[in-house]
Amino acid sequence: MNLSLALMLQLTILLPLLATFAIAVTGQKPNLREAVTISTSLAVLYCVVNLYQALNAGASISVSWWALMPGLEISFVVEPLGMLFALIASFLWLITTIYAIGYMRGHGEENQTRFYICFALAISAVMGLAFSANLFTLFIFYEVITLSTYPLVTHAGTEKAKQGGRVYLGILLSTSIAFFLLAIILTWFVSGSLEFKAGGVFDDNVNTTVAGAILVLFVFGIGKAAIMPFHRWLPAAMVAPTPVSALLHAVAVVKAGVFTVLKVCIFIFGLDLLPKLPTTEFLLYLAAISVLLASIVAMRQDNLKARLAYSTVSQLGYITIGALLATSSGVIGSSMHIASHAFGKITLFFCAGAILVASHKSKISEMRGLGFAMPITMAAFFIASLSIIGVPPAGGTWSKWFLLMGTVETGYWFIMITLMLSSLLNIAYLLPIPYHAFFPGKDHPAASSGGIKEAPLPSLIALTITTLGCLTMFIYPQPFYELAKAILTVSGVSHGQ
């Protein structure tokens, strides 16, 4: 391949951006339009994979665009954590596009061109965020993601969509402006740098009270990480069409949040400084409470997408905890959980969407006996649930293992118990769904499929691929583990793994 790596890095951001124009132009011809989306996502995936191989080969790739303001450059760099996120996002974008074709057409959605345009724009911003070389660049793309996904959330254009969109934008934009931006400015003022640096930007004799306050601002300001009490936007966003919920609110947007938290913890504060801050412990407990409460709330939801949304809030808490633990197993666990939760949750959302398209059911109580009509979907649901719970033979096992190790190493017993308890709750709110689907019980006629068939083929293909992904990540977690370990090497931490 002749393309230089720096060019490829830029293409991952620019290609989806350019695709928005192509999609707009081809809007009248749905097949051509979808071809544009798919070929773009293939091209982006190709670039990301190439970058991945180059990174593994030890290349250092960075690009600097221009200085927005003196001293504040928009620049990108390829490092393992960003690579991990970019790999997942670009791969799942391709899969989601395939899924979306089936879903959007099967569901007869309007304004599909606008949908694909905003989608591509959001992905472009996600790529930019993943490869950001400094906090300033990251913040810009963070805001672009919020704004470009707003039309997707409110896609239906109804009163309910408007309300959902209001909460979505209100929380994400407010927290990012009031806390995140403030935290960035304070960081710049205190340390004089926003560069993501190994070991953090603060020097050793920084005032820990100030740094601790900044950390709180960061964790609250990164609303996309959905730490309670700023989690309400995520359930609100469930008014969106299911492919949006699947890719954006299980993968791209929420993972952008926890990714940012990880980035900030590792490369702004540094793993050495983090445990010394007076607020870290408070935030850890807050995240633990968020994990537990969200799981409990999830149990009480009858709407499938709402249940999945609260489950996501809970799982995001795991990742934040791993980042705040600031040990090597915590970081490894968090990074791998980004991957395993992404695959697991997107599968669950795909299933929810497939059920909606095929049977027009969104309430869990109505899904009894659905397993006979939609065996593939429900089997996929079962496997993905296992991954979220964190038991073999699914990928979630490894990440939860490392996270638990992290809590044990640091001696946070309360948090360890919380995590275990939450896993039990996961079982309680996820597994009954496939169970009742296949074993509806005696008083429920098993053959009440009423002409319900499996979802459209593209959707089915997509959810099969992601399910296989969940399984593969159990048997062969090496690529993600290697990347996660490389993060530690990059961040200059010696690790015992």
Partner 1 sequence: MLAHLPILQVVLPLMAAPLCWFLNRSKLVWMFALLVCAATSVNSILLLIEVMKSGPIIYELGGWEAPWGIEYRIDQLNAFLLLIISTIGTVVLFAAQTSIQKELDEDRHTLFYSLYLLSLTGMFGIVATGDAFNVFVFLEISSLSAYALIALGRDRRALWAAYQYLIMGTIGATFILIGIGMLYQMTGTLNMSDLATRLVDVGHTRTVFAAFAFLIVGICLKLALFPLHLWLPNAYAYAPSIVTAFLAATATKVAVYLLIRFTFTVFGISFSFTTLPLQSILMVLGLMGVFAASITAIYQQNVKHILAYSSIAQVGYMIIGYSINTSTGVMASLLHLFNHALMKGALFLALGAVMYRIGSVQLSQFQGLGRQMPLTMSAIVIGGLSLIGVPLTVGFVSKWYLLIASVEAGMWPVAVLILLGSLLTIVYIWRIVETAYFKPPLPGREAVKEAPWSFLGPIWLLVIANIYFGIDTRLSVQVAQAASQSLFGINP
DSSP calls for 184-252: HHHHHHHHS--B--TT-SS-TT--HHHHHHHHHHHHHH-GGG--TTS-THHHHGGGS-HHHHHHIIIII
CB of 177 to partner 1, least distance (A): 6
The encoded tokens of residue 394 equal 């699914």
The number of angstroms, rounded, from the C-alpha of 441 to the middle of its chain's C-alpha atoms is: 36
CB of 178 to partner 1, least distance (A): 5
CB of 72 to partner 1, least distance (A): 8
The encoded tokens of residue 333 equal 């666990």
Cis peptide before 80 (omega within 30 of 0): no
> Does residue 28 touch partner 1 according to CB under 8 A?
no
By CB under 8 A, what part of segment 294-323 binds partner 1? none
**For residue 195, what are the β-bridge partners?**
134
- The smaller minimum CB distance to partner 1, of residues 139 and 196, is found at 139
Count of beta carbons in the 10 Å neighbourhood of residue 33: 21
Choose, by CB under 8 A, the member of 6, 17, 147, 391 that binds partner 1: 147
> Does residue 113 touch partner 1 according to CB under 8 A?
no
Share of the chain residues as helix, strand and coil, in percent rounded to the nearest 5: 75, 5, 20
- The smaller minimum CB distance to partner 1, of residues 224 and 436, is found at 224
Query: Strand pairing of 72-77 and 62-69?
Result: antiparallel
Q: What is the CA radius of gyration of the chain?
A: 21
Choose, by CB under 8 A, the member of 182, 408, 431, 452 that binds partner 1: 182
- The smaller minimum CB distance to partner 1, of residues 230 and 310, is found at 230
DSSP 73: E
CB of 157 to partner 1, least distance (A): 6
The region of 7-15, 40-48, 81-89, 181-189 touching partner 1 under the rule CB under 8 A is: 181-189
| Cα distances (Å, whole numbers) of residue 426 to 105, 230, 312, 351, 440 | 33, 21, 11, 17, 20
Half-sphere exposure at residue 398, Cβ-oriented, CA atoms within 13 angstroms: 25
The contacts of residue 439 (CB under 8 Å, 6+ apart) are: none
- Region label for 157, one of left (φ > 0), alpha (ψ between -120 and 50) or beta (otherwise): left
> Does residue 139 touch partner 1 according to CB under 8 A?
yes
Distance CA 194, CA 127 (A): 19
The number of angstroms, rounded, from the C-alpha of 196 to the middle of its chain's C-alpha atoms is: 21
The stretches of 65-180 forming alpha helices (DSSP H) are: 80-106, 112-130, 135-153, 159-175
- The smaller minimum CB distance to partner 1, of residues 215 and 348, is found at 215
CB of 70 to partner 1, least distance (A): 7
Q: 284 with 364: CB under 8 angstroms?
A: no
The region of 153-161, 289-297, 340-348, 457-465 touching partner 1 under the rule CB under 8 A is: 153-161
CB of 117 to partner 1, least distance (A): 13
Size of site (CB under 8 A) for partner 1: 28
CB of 47 to partner 1, least distance (A): 23
The region of 91-99, 184-192, 310-318, 376-384 touching partner 1 under the rule CB under 8 A is: 184-192
3-state secondary structure of 233: helix
The contacts of residue 113 (CB under 8 Å, 6+ apart) are: 23, 24, 27, 33
The region of 22-30, 151-159, 444-452, 482-490 touching partner 1 under the rule CB under 8 A is: 151-159
DSSP 327: S
By CB under 8 A, what part of segment 375-414 binds partner 1? none
Distance CA 348, CA 466 (A): 10
Task: Give me the 53-92 binding string for partner 1, x by CB under 8 A, dash otherwise.
Answer: -------------x-xxx----------------------
> Does residue 140 touch partner 1 according to CB under 8 A?
yes
CB of 208 to partner 1, least distance (A): 17
- The smaller minimum CB distance to partner 1, of residues 169 and 291, is found at 169
Cis peptide before 445 (omega within 30 of 0): no
* Among the listed residues 441, 236, 234, 433, the one whose alpha carbon sits nearest the alpha carbon of residue 317: 234
Distance CA 400, CA 336 (A): 9
Choose, by CB under 8 A, the member of 10, 154, 242, 290 that binds partner 1: 154
> Does residue 189 touch partner 1 according to CB under 8 A?
yes
Tokens 């994990």 correspond to what residue?
Answer: 291
> Does residue 24 touch partner 1 according to CB under 8 A?
no
- The smaller minimum CB distance to partner 1, of residues 237 and 316, is found at 237
- The smaller minimum CB distance to partner 1, of residues 173 and 421, is found at 173
Distance CA 178, CA 104 (A): 36
Choose, by CB under 8 A, the member of 25, 35, 59, 185 that binds partner 1: 185
CB of 463 to partner 1, least distance (A): 32
> Does residue 181 touch partner 1 according to CB under 8 A?
yes
> Does residue 460 touch partner 1 according to CB under 8 A?
no
- The smaller minimum CB distance to partner 1, of residues 159 and 443, is found at 159
By CB under 8 A, what part of segment 156-175 binds partner 1? 157-159, 161-162, 166, 169-170, 173-174
Residues in contact with partner 1 by the rule CB under 8 A = 66, 68-70, 139-140, 143-144, 147, 154, 157-159, 161-162, 166, 169-170, 173-174, 177-178, 181-182, 185-186, 188-189
